[in-house]
Structure 1
């Protein structure tokens, strides 16, 4: 993969709306397309373009195009063949909790650097929404550049992965507790070669990584798409051990927290922090190594045994349905096998990025905004197509 050193591509509002339509409009024909099709995309309150009624009416098959940007894998395309078990609008439980619809799907994607990926998944909600299940199986063939003290090193990862998570609601609260199990059979190869690469990372070749994790998740956001208020927090302790099928023994600790606060009716502030660290007698595989994940920075550019990231984002409604976005963040990667060599937190360098963006309110009833972000760091300028929040709450 070639890290994007200068990417100054711009998207117009017209292009954004075309992309938005393509992402949501492809589905099975309606019984009365001549009248239903027109009304499904106009909001009855303001007469503007809106896909709330369309999304609320959808059941069954819904193909969604995937557009990949950013410096980690380069440009790419894919498709998510999604099947909805019920309406995308979801429903309320007996205790008043929102129950999302069950989802099943198949995903396939590829990028310009030769990365290919295919997967199948299922998200299930049972026992009146109190039990949540996530099932995933995938086959990646990924090419990634990793920053090291000797310069960038290109690696290829090919194999398959399976994942199962179960979480149960605690005492009718917004807290869920559970576990997940991950199993990966991955062949790791260096496309650059050299003994230096072997010394920096975990052993190459065909290896099995299996982990059993304890999970706590707390969520009071007013929307899973583009929140205006609330808290999301998730903590995971993942034990990779020979007793559960792994070739390597290590523990992966992950913690993330998002906080959204409406300063006024038109101005929303968001705060994000994430921390990851790995300990144990063996090194984790390099694709699992903690790294600085920020817009404008390749996900594998700054890695270490531990990584800490903080980010702030402001969103202001400059006109009805039109929002301007500004964001900045910084992070440190440190410890053994870091990009800067073995270093402590106090000695590690902060790496930062900043940027601006635009959002259009695509679905008022779902609080779904979509648009573009342009981000700059000390090494890259990159753009992203963003649907919903730019912060990942799904892993």
Structure 2
């Protein structure tokens, strides 16, 4: 199919057949991405506390130069919610020196109104967070092993508040005073390190292998940070195939803090079906299992379930929570066969509500690194 854009005499013809895989005649973005194109990914925000919302992310993915090597990837996105919150940013990841060094960096700005759930109550309190953030990390392969290690850098400047004129109850008033008195406008700067182990057969939509990471960030006034604290995170994911068309995956994630960390950096349960930040504390554990059935070369289905809990020792805002169970199902389509990229839709049920997600790559992509 041929379409012509523009009215000029030398208008350029665009061949839409580039989106068709000649091997099976299915829609496929491999050739388009190899030419430097991008895939627009819609972001549908279902969080009721921000009155829903919508965003768009342009995903530029390069073709790996060798099998199993991570492709270069650039993401540019913007979003807006029903309560007027806005956010935008850019992220890039790639590799160098024949794939022995991997790196990632990004920056973003946001003006968000976000709920927190203090003191273990179901009542949420909305706070305003004007945020500018940037990060960078790199890791080098250790010899010929599957281990990688390297440094990390994190920068964040925030302006937090709850309006003095808001009609608040006693709980919200206490939270407002805590935020306004302690956290006003501050910057947080961290230096850290990470250790990784990676044997996945595909870094975007894996079906075999293990991915593990351990990272530790130190925020200190010696680096220019307005608060001294530490944040650590350990993640282990595993994928294994059985039968001809089945894959089993499991993800375990534990995140903890130590010191005078601002509440918005507190670890939270990270599961499909749970609102981000709904269950927070000084530490949080999340586990999720997924079974995938490949119906055809292009189409697959997934079912999944998860468990989470939080731990509290010094927090002034949060209470511990456990027995947080989730479950759901989804569908996948292989959008770019040559790089193994899946896209799809998940519907997940948590303790409070059902949430649906548009997936680009694996659902655990943010946890894996």
Q: TM-score range by the shorter chain?
A: 0.7 to 0.9
Q: Partner residue of 2:71?
A: 100
Note closer, same or farther for the CA distance 1:306–1:240 as it changes in structure 2 (3 Å cut).
same
Q: Superposition pairs for residues 131-142 of structure 1, below 5 Å?
A: 131-142=101-112
Q: Partner residue of 2:3?
A: none
Answer yes or no: is the 8 Å Cα contact 1:122–1:135 preserved in 2: yes
Q: 1:177 aligns with which of 125, 149, 173?
A: 149
Q: More displaced, 265-274 or 61-70?
A: 61-70
Answer yes or no: is the 8 Å Cα contact 1:202–1:286 preserved in 2: no
Does residue 368 (structure 1) correspond to residue 353 (structure 2)? The answer is no
CA RMSD of aligned residues (A): 2.7
Give the deviation of 1:159 after TM superposition: 2.6
Give the deviation of 1:112 after TM superposition: 2.0
Give the deviation of 1:106 after TM superposition: 3.9
Answer yes or no: is the 8 Å Cα contact 2:32–2:38 preserved in 1: no
Deviation track 1:187-233 (CA, whole Å, cap 9, x = no partner) reads 11125551244448992210111111111122111112211101111
Give the deviation of 1:74 after TM superposition: 5.7
Give the deviation of 1:249 after TM superposition: 1.0
Q: Superposition pairs for residues 101-250 of structure 1, below 5 Å?
A: 101=72, 103-104=73-74, 106-148=76-118, 149-150=120-121, 151-191=123-163, 194-199=173-178, 203-250=182-229
Where relative contact order (Cα < 8 A, 6+ residues apart) is larger, the structure is 1
Q: What TM-score results when the alignment is normalised by the length of structure 2?
A: 0.85
Q: Partner residue of 1:90?
A: 64
Note closer, same or farther for the CA distance 1:170–1:317 as it changes in structure 2 (3 Å cut).
same
Q: Superposition pairs for residues 1-395 of structure 1, below 5 Å?
A: 33-34=14-15, 37-38=16-17, 40-55=18-33, 57-59=34-36, 62=38, 64-71=40-47, 75-81=52-58, 88-92=62-66, 98-101=69-72, 103-104=73-74, 106-148=76-118, 149-150=120-121, 151-191=123-163, 194-199=173-178, 203-280=182-259, 282=260, 284-336=261-313, 341-343=318-320, 348-391=321-364, 392-393=366-367
Answer yes or no: is the 8 Å Cα contact 1:312–1:327 preserved in 2: yes
Give the distance between the partners of 1:107 and 1:336, measured in 2 at CA: 37
Give the distance between the partners of 1:217 and 1:142, measured in 2 at CA: 32
Q: How many residues matched? A: 349
Q: What TM-score results when the alignment is normalised by the length of structure 1?
A: 0.80
Answer yes or no: is the 8 Å Cα contact 1:41–1:53 preserved in 2: yes
Give the deviation of 1:355 after TM superposition: 0.6
5+ residue gaps, structure 1, are 1-29
Give the distance between the partners of 2:235 and 2:352, measured in 1 at CA: 26
